[in-house]
Chains A and B, each alone.
Chain A
Amino acid sequence: MKPTATRIAALMLGVSLVLTGGVMAQQEPEVALRAAMELETINGDLRAAIEQYQKIAQGSDRALAAKALIRMAGCYQKLGDAEAHRIYEQVVREYADQGEMVAEARARLAALQQTATVTPASAMVTRRIGPVDLTGSPSGDGRYLSTTDYRTGDVAVFNVATGQIRALTGVQAFPNESVVNSVMSPSGDEVAYTWADYTKQPSHDLRVIATADGAKPRILFSNDDVEWIRASDWSPDGRQVLVLLTKIDRTNQIAVISVADRSLKVLKTFDWRYPANARFSPDGQSIVYDFAPDEDSLARDIFVLAADGSREVPLVEHPADDSVLGWTPDGQHVLFASDRRGSRDAWLIRIADGKVPHAPELIKSGVGNIQPLGLTRNGSFYYGISASRDDVYLAALDPATGEVREPAKKISRRFEGNNTWPDWSPDGRYLAYASRRDGNSSGAPASSWSLLIHALETGQDRELPLSLTNLYLLQPRWSPDGRSLLTPGVDRKGRKGVYRIDAQSGDITRMFLADTNVTAWSGDGKAVFYQDMDEERATWRIMKRELETGRDTELLPLDGFLRDMATSPDGRLLAFCFTGGRLKVMPTSGGNARTLYFTERRSGACSIAWMPDGSQLLLSHGIRRRTDDTSTTPHSVMWLISLEGGEPQKVGLEMNRLGQRGVSIHPDGRRLAFHALLPQGPRFEVWVMENFLPELEDHSGR
């Protein structure tokens, strides 16, 4: 047997023994130790923890006593009390038979001597940084966060002390462009960021810009074989950017890009499942990331990959969902989130050289679905909280005037903040809508969804879990016969297409593969209209797919990006609206399109629905705020627009500060359903967790 195998076998045997007889004999002191650790780490009550550790240290179990003393000294250390030094020396002097603990004490004594000038830490603190979006990361000193300028879509830097945002390129990016995510270089002098231009293919590229005033960005990576790229981290020496790629063939990759020569090195390729939260270790030698190893489960495990691709080892393998939060500055631990206790908590696992790792240590319970932004040099952990605020509303309409008769009401109080894209069934008895079921915090484009069928008569919802993903694509539309719903979507294997959902069983069948975000049934249900990219001309177009023959026909080349389309009640006309709110209509048999509505105001997403008699269209579109308006929520307006022309008629919905989308009108013309963004409170918040690490040895050089 090779040495490695021997060690593994020995460890397995050792672990087995501990799990059988050993633990039973030591249960009480072990439990006491755990309780004391919880006092220390979860409650932050260091004095009470010291008291408990002291009692355990007086017990007859020398191994536990030594461990308790180490913990007790750690508490004193956090309190800035020199007693820590004395206790570490005591362990070295009196517990020579506890080799591991003696080594630990020696290491801590050495660290104490090296960092004698470091300000002693106090108990763990979490504090709110501000309503900053979650697209960026902190600088090494924690003074800045890269972020998005929500007024323009530009890449920006947020000053933590002043709360000011400074845009870096000065471009007005919205509505067709924006920064997607960003990471600050270790020095804080540069920001690497993903830039999206949705009018182009490839729509995403990776750029770098200096944070100094007047700097110009440069494109680091652009490739039309890559559908999506996310800047994940900088190497500690600032020479490489760690990226996560999704390719056109749906595979995902961890790769590094040289800042100097822009060369790409692919470290590892995955199938349709994506790695997330990849981070360089402080010494730059390793990369930690999380990934769902079981294709039938969303639960993730944590892996450590050598930065040169030479090796990989699993770090956390557990049936629970485990995801990376970051490396500690000394490179000896990985902070991660896990739901193994039922709640989503923060844990720390030690991966120090030359030692069997300790079991993960609970750091903070109930952290929830936080999004990790990064750890600073002093071990402060920046993270974001995203509040889901989408809900489906019902409002009563006066079909004659288009006026809203009474305030809109939420369709459901369940899963509030997660309900979107309503659509009335052809007979008006049901309202279908999509509802998100988990809060993915990895920043990658996947979530779990259900389709809810709301019965108007009973007020009951029937839930159909979906095996489709992607927040931005799922827009169910009832078939003309009311038996199924059509939606663009992405299946679990990452295949973009047009899918049919059986309204009774929830079974999903793929109708055809297509990279599309907008679909509509033909009036007879025998064809589907959809938007796709003409790759030869690099322009968007409306296609018609005959479902029986599979034949595709180009209906109309487009000069913009569609957000919605809808077939008229008689099936003769197809209406469609673009980003920016422009509305056109054309015959479903083909031919020219005519513009029904156009605005020169800076507008966002749009949504349309036909009135039942086919004489008017309801159009909702967002209006971007002025750059000096600091609110994060856009205005939205709703218009009734006649096919015969004339002035658009404003719909008096008294929720005009919401972003209404997914509008759908009941067949009786008296009820309107839509989904909207809640106005109250910020959608994103950044927080920082401080003084939670057991030791702070900065080996990073950052």
Chain B
Amino acid sequence: MATLVALALLAVPVAAQLAPELQRPEVPLGLDLYMPVPDDNPLTHEKVALGRRLFSDTILSRDRRVACVTCHEPERAFTDGRAVAVGIFGRTGTRNVPTLVNRGYGATFFWDGRISTLEAQVLQPIQDRKEMDLTVPDAIERLQDHHDYPALFQAAFGRTITPDDLGWALASYVRTILSGNSRIDRYMNGDRDALSAQARRGLTIFRGQGNCATCHVGPTLTDERFHNTGVAWQEGTLLDQGRYMVTGVEEDRGAFKTPTLRNVDRTAPYMHDGSITTLEEVIDYYDRGGNKNIHLDPELQPLKLAAEEKQALVALLRSLSGTIQEGLPASVIESPRAARHP
């Protein structure tokens, strides 16, 4: 089977497969030049611009009052500042809104990793009853009735609007939301003055005694894996089964995907349920070794950090914020804002 897959992929000549993309975002310092993009959804200006407009458009919610950008605000590193998401008619979800920065590099999506492609992920909130609560066919119908969208989709895909096209346009835009060029990126690139002495001390702890880099690793500062850190374990009860609901594997109970730490000082509150409000409290939580439960990740052990070591870690975490860019240069006019359709 493996050989079949390899042959199938090579059905497209290698040189052609490696030909330059139609468009590529400029990659900021600290991120890989290689970002996986599906062969059937290469980036184009038209798709990114369309996805960007859709991202801000409340047309995709049942009450026409909620857009993607409602919960993923650029000013908050594409989060919303709330503990858990709030959708149409004030319906509240159960999990914290994750940032969208650098999701183009992602391997799994949502806190429980139930979706494996960005194209599929972007359609989920539209359909979620607590978020935008619109079926995809209804969304397509609205877009087809719109005065602009049919032409924009035609320009992007060369056909009338399909459900795939909606996902592909939104995914294309999300792939352009990139964050890098933070102080730590500059430090790692050889600028020894980019980090304060305290943050450098924090970096040593982050990689050593703190054991943070076991999960928060690489350019995106996430291993894209799932860990039970005990957050869902409250007073002897697992409040959210997490990854277990996807895999059915006992060890996955209470496990959630490692979130990126990029721009972490802009994305409070923290954890999958938004239950911790400050970075200092997050560090205190891990310093205690997390909430003990039967599936607690063995990497979580009491850290026994001194007060100044905790402060150093906070200083490091605050150095992880960098520039945030979205869209392709020719498709960016202004930061996305929710555009309501009465």
- Which segment, of A5-13, A177-185, A385-393, faces chain B? A5-13
B33 contacts A by Cβ under 8 Å = yes
- Highest count of chain A CB atoms <10 Å: which of B24, B32, B40: B32
Name the distance in Å between B319's Cβ and chain A's nearest Cβ: 14
Whole-angstrom distance between the alpha carbons of A253 and B35 in the complex? 14
Name the distance in Å between B106's Cβ and chain A's nearest Cβ: 13
CB neighbours (8 Å) of A2 from chain B are 40
Contact B32 A550 (CB under 8 A): no
Nearest A residue to B187 via CB reads: A225
Residues 287-307 of B, flagged 1 when their CB comes within 8 A of A and 0 if not, give 000000000000000001000
A438 contacts B by Cβ under 8 Å = no
Contact A249 B217 (CB under 8 A): yes
Name the distance in Å between B303's Cβ and chain A's nearest Cβ: 9
Contact check: which of B14, B35, B188, B214 meets A315 at CB < 8 Å? B14
Contact A264 B2 (CB under 8 A): no
A357 contacts B by Cβ under 8 Å = yes
Contact check: which of A4, A248, A285, A356 meets B39 at CB < 8 Å? A4
Contact A311 B188 (CB under 8 A): no
Contact B16 A353 (CB under 8 A): yes
Whole-angstrom distance between the alpha carbons of A274 and B223 in the complex? 15
Residues 6-36 of B, flagged 1 when their CB comes within 8 A of A and 0 if not, give 1111111111111111001001000111111
A309 contacts B by Cβ under 8 Å = yes
Q: Which residues 626-646 in A have Cβ within 8 Å of B in the complex?
A: none
Contact check: which of A223, A251, A267, A357 meets B10 at CB < 8 Å? A357
Whole-angstrom distance between the alpha carbons of A269 and B33 in the complex? 9
Name the distance in Å between A303's Cβ and chain B's nearest Cβ: 10
If A271-B217, A304-B14 touch, whether A311 touches B9 (CB-CB below 8 Å) is no
Whole-angstrom distance between the alpha carbons of A354 and B17 in the complex? 10
Whole-angstrom distance between the alpha carbons of A266 and B29 in the complex? 9
Contact check: which of B6, B27, B207 meets A317 at CB < 8 Å? B6
Contact B32 A266 (CB under 8 A): yes
Contact B6 A4 (CB under 8 A): no
Q: Which residues 48-102 in B have Cβ within 8 Å of A in the complex?
A: none
Contact B14 A286 (CB under 8 A): yes
CB neighbours (8 Å) of B34 from chain A are 267-268, 305-306, 309-312
B237 contacts A by Cβ under 8 Å = no
Contact A311 B32 (CB under 8 A): no
CB neighbours (8 Å) of A306 from chain B are 18, 20, 34
B5 contacts A by Cβ under 8 Å = yes
Contact B223 A310 (CB under 8 A): no
Nearest B residue to A221 via CB reads: B190
Whole-angstrom distance between the alpha carbons of A269 and B32 in the complex? 7
Contact B18 A315 (CB under 8 A): no
B323 contacts A by Cβ under 8 Å = no
B218 contacts A by Cβ under 8 Å = yes
Name the distance in Å between A323's Cβ and chain B's nearest Cβ: 15
Nearest A residue to B31 via CB reads: A266
Size category of the A interface is: 35 or more
- Highest count of chain A CB atoms <10 Å: which of B12, B33, B209: B33
Whole-angstrom distance between the alpha carbons of A194 and B16 in the complex? 34
CB neighbours (8 Å) of B17 from chain A are 311, 313
Contact B18 A12 (CB under 8 A): no
A443 contacts B by Cβ under 8 Å = no
Whole-angstrom distance between the alpha carbons of A83 and B34 in the complex? 48
Whole-angstrom distance between the alpha carbons of A225 and B207 in the complex? 11
Nearest A residue to B213 via CB reads: A249
CB neighbours (8 Å) of B12 from chain A are 4, 7-8, 313
A250 contacts B by Cβ under 8 Å = yes
Contact check: which of B9, B190, B219 meets A223 at CB < 8 Å? B190
Contact B40 A5 (CB under 8 A): yes
Q: Which residues 37-82 in A have Cβ within 8 Å of B in the complex?
A: none
Contact A356 B188 (CB under 8 A): no
CB neighbours (8 Å) of A351 from chain B are 10, 13-15
Size category of the B interface is: 35 or more
Contact A285 B18 (CB under 8 A): yes
Name the distance in Å between A259's Cβ and chain B's nearest Cβ: 17
Contact B40 A285 (CB under 8 A): no
CB neighbours (8 Å) of A285 from chain B are 15, 18
Contact A267 B2 (CB under 8 A): no
Contact B14 A15 (CB under 8 A): no
Interface of B is mostly: loop
Q: Which residues 215-248 in A have Cβ within 8 Å of B in the complex?
A: 223, 225, 247-248
CB neighbours (8 Å) of B27 from chain A are 309
A318 contacts B by Cβ under 8 Å = yes
Whole-angstrom distance between the alpha carbons of A423 and B18 in the complex? 53
Contact check: which of B24, B204, B218 meets A251 at CB < 8 Å? B218
Whole-angstrom distance between the alpha carbons of A309 and B24 in the complex? 10
CB neighbours (8 Å) of A352 from chain B are 13
Contact A271 B33 (CB under 8 A): no
CB neighbours (8 Å) of B21 from chain A are 310-311
A565 contacts B by Cβ under 8 Å = no
CB neighbours (8 Å) of A513 from chain B are 208-209, 211
Nearest A residue to B212 via CB reads: A249
Contact check: which of A16, A253, A316 meets B6 at CB < 8 Å? A316
A535 contacts B by Cβ under 8 Å = yes
Contact B10 A313 (CB under 8 A): yes
Whole-angstrom distance between the alpha carbons of A304 and B15 in the complex? 10
Contact B18 A319 (CB under 8 A): no
Name the distance in Å between A646's Cβ and chain B's nearest Cβ: 43
CB neighbours (8 Å) of A317 from chain B are 2-3, 5-6
Contact A355 B13 (CB under 8 A): yes
A308 contacts B by Cβ under 8 Å = yes
Contact B217 A251 (CB under 8 A): yes
- Highest count of chain A CB atoms <10 Å: which of B3, B11, B12: B11
B330 contacts A by Cβ under 8 Å = no
Nearest A residue to B30 via CB reads: A266
Contact A15 B6 (CB under 8 A): no
Whole-angstrom distance between the alpha carbons of A550 and B289 in the complex? 14
CB neighbours (8 Å) of B7 from chain A are 11, 15, 356-357
Whole-angstrom distance between the alpha carbons of A309 and B213 in the complex? 25
Contact B8 A8 (CB under 8 A): yes
Contact B6 A267 (CB under 8 A): no
A405 contacts B by Cβ under 8 Å = no
Nearest A residue to B11 via CB reads: A11
Contact B4 A15 (CB under 8 A): yes
Contact A266 B10 (CB under 8 A): no
Whole-angstrom distance between the alpha carbons of A513 and B301 in the complex? 12
Residues 331-359 of A, flagged 1 when their CB comes within 8 A of B and 0 if not, give 00000000000000000000111111100
CB neighbours (8 Å) of A493 from chain B are 214
If A309-B32, A513-B208 touch, whether A314 touches B9 (CB-CB below 8 Å) is yes
CB neighbours (8 Å) of A8 from chain B are 8-9, 11-12
Contact B13 A315 (CB under 8 A): no
Contact check: which of B3, B33, B204, B219 meets A318 at CB < 8 Å? B3
A495 contacts B by Cβ under 8 Å = yes
CB neighbours (8 Å) of A312 from chain B are 18, 34, 36
A265 contacts B by Cβ under 8 Å = yes
Q: Which residues 214-244 in B have Cβ within 8 Å of A in the complex?
A: 214, 217-219, 223
B116 contacts A by Cβ under 8 Å = no
CB neighbours (8 Å) of A16 from chain B are 4
Nearest B residue to A320 via CB reads: B2
CB neighbours (8 Å) of B189 from chain A are 223, 264
Contact B20 A495 (CB under 8 A): no
Name the distance in Å between B181's Cβ and chain A's nearest Cβ: 13
Residues 604-624 of A, flagged 1 when their CB comes within 8 A of B and 0 if not, give 000000000000000000000
Contact A268 B213 (CB under 8 A): no
CB neighbours (8 Å) of A495 from chain B are 214
Sample of 13 A–B contacts (CB below 8 Å)? A2-B40, A7-B12, A11-B7, A225-B188, A249-B213, A264-B189, A271-B218, A310-B34, A311-B19, A316-B6, A351-B13, A351-B14, A354-B13
What 5 new A-B contacts, CB under 8 Å, besides A309-B35, A352-B13? Answer: A8-B12, A311-B37, A314-B6, A357-B10, A357-B14
What 8 A-B pairs come out closest when comparing CB atoms? A309-B33, A309-B34, A317-B6, A11-B11, A306-B18, A268-B34, A2-B40, A351-B14
